[in-house]
Amino acid sequence: MSKEKDYTICLSEGSKIRYIAGSYDRKKSAPRYSIEIVIPEHVKSQVQVRQLLIKFSNNYQWSWDIHNKTNWPAFIVIKKDGEII
């Protein structure tokens, strides 16, 4: 059994998720988090993504609210500084 965390998320049709990627340093603007959405092009615009920077006490967390409004599963790949994490 692998101990690595799977950072590819399958978001089923019509579902929502809030994904918190990790800590974020506002002064350094680092690390740089991003996501890649894998779904057929003709429905890609129906996957809504809202980026959020959430403050918890003295630190910040980078996150996304993702809503898949399609009839297709969407695969979400999480990246940190350009690398899949």
Per-residue pLDDT reduced to its tens digit, 14-46: 999 999 999 999 999 999 999 999 999 999 999
pLDDT band at 58 (very low <50, low <70, confident <90, very high): confident
Q: Does domain 8-84 have CATH number 1.10.1740?
A: no
Give CA angle at 49 (56, 45), nearest 5°.
180
Domain parsing of the chain, residue ranges: 8-84
Residues 6+ apart with CB under 8 A from 36: 76, 77, 79
